[in-house]
């Protein structure tokens, strides 16, 4: 079954309401399937894949980006190879507005054997992490997180800290990706919720008035052992999570 039929078969159709956020989980390991032909990738994507040292990493990158093209193509009504992606001045991938007038935003993240693609009509960022044991999450939080986040984190019982670390890390990365800031912005320049029993929220961005009310943060749990987060402009608030087959079982 091709990627387009896989999407249609799950009852999603091609619709995306202005208030919707669709998060697709994409398995990256398993037998090859027709949905992962590298011919759908752009020359730039193939070049990026070739720079990975290990074949497994090249394969996972190619599968994540091929699946993303298949899913975006289903929304746009074009073949995966016909999805034209450009990079804006901030370095954030976008659909080429000259080729795809539909107001669609997307963001992709992959970790270990899984990828997630977020699709919305509003600005959006997504992050995914495989929950391995962090080398020293206490030291990372002390050095890179805000003062407020560090104080909240260090007040938690030790047993809760690893989960809190990954939950907060993905919230922060998703926000940076939504803004298009990436590595240009310090992690301690804004604060998010740290306690695992709190709803995810952007708490403070001192140098950007209005940011706290602009963005909504959402948590994802696409598969056991993974944690993810989405940052999206507040007019988009309804999250739906979808698994994607695309030739992988």
Length of the chain as a residue count:
249
Beta strand spans in 41-113 (E): 85-87, 93-95, 105-111
* Integer Cα distance of 33 and 26 in angstroms: 13
Report the 10 Å Cβ neighbour count for 196.
14
Average pLDDT per block of 10 residues along the chain, 249 residues long: 38 69 92 59 89 91 94 92 91 93 92 96 95 85 97 95 94 95 90 93 95 95 93 83 58
Handedness of CA 204, 208, 213, 216 (dihedral sign): negative
119 in the same domain as 157: no
173 in the same domain as 90: no
Q: Considering its fold, how many domains does the chain have in total?
A: 2
11 in the same domain as 110: yes
Phi, psi of 109 (to 5 degrees): -140, 145
Q: Give the pLDDT of residue 32.
A: 56
The answer to whether position 139 is within a domain reads: yes
Q: Give the pLDDT of residue 141.
A: 96
Query: Please, what is the angle between helix 161-179 and helix 147-154, to 10°?
Result: 160
What is the per-residue pLDDT across 167-202, written as a single tens digit (0 to 9) for each?
999 999 999 999 998 778 999 999 999 988 899 999
Q: Give the pLDDT of residue 10.
A: 39
Q: Give the pLDDT of residue 90.
A: 84
DSSP-derived letter for residue 200 is P
Q: Give the pLDDT of residue 236.
A: 66
Structure tokens at 66: 């091929």
234 in the same domain as 196: no
Q: Give the pLDDT of residue 17.
A: 86
Is residue 4 within 8 Å of residue 30, measured between CB atoms?
A: no
Structural domain including 33 reads 3-129+221-243
């Amino acid at each position: 079954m091709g990627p387009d039929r896989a999407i249609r078969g799950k009852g999603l159709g091609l619709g995306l309401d202005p208030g919707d956020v669709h998060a697709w989980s994409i398995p990256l390991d398993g037998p090859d399937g027709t949905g992962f032909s590298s011919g759908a990738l752009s020359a730039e994507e193939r070049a990026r894949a070739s720079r990975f040292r290990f074949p497994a990493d090249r394969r996972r990158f190619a599968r994540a980006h091929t699946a993303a093209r298949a899913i975006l193509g289903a929304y746009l009504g074009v073949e995966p190879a016909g999805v034209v992606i450009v990079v804006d001045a901030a370095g954030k991938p976008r659909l080429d507005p000259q080729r795809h007038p539909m107001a669609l935003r997307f963001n992709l993240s992959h970790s270990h054997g899984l990828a997630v693609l977020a699709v919305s009509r509003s600005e959006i960022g997504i992050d995914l992490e495989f929950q391995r044991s962090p080398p020293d999450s206490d030291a990372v939080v002390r050095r890179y997180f805000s003062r407020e986040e560090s104080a909240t984190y260090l007040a938690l019982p030790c047993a809760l800290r690893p989960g809190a670390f990954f939950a907060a890390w993905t919230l922060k990365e998703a926000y940076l990706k939504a803004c298009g800031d990436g590595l240009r912005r310090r992690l301690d320049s804004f604060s998010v919720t740290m306690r695992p029993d709190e709803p995810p929220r952007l708490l403070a961005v001192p140098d950007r008035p209005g940011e706290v009310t602009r963005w909504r943060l959402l948590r994802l749990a696409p598969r056991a052992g993974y944690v993810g987060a989405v940052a999206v402009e507040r007019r988009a608030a309804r999250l739906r999570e979808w698994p994607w087959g695309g030739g992988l079982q």
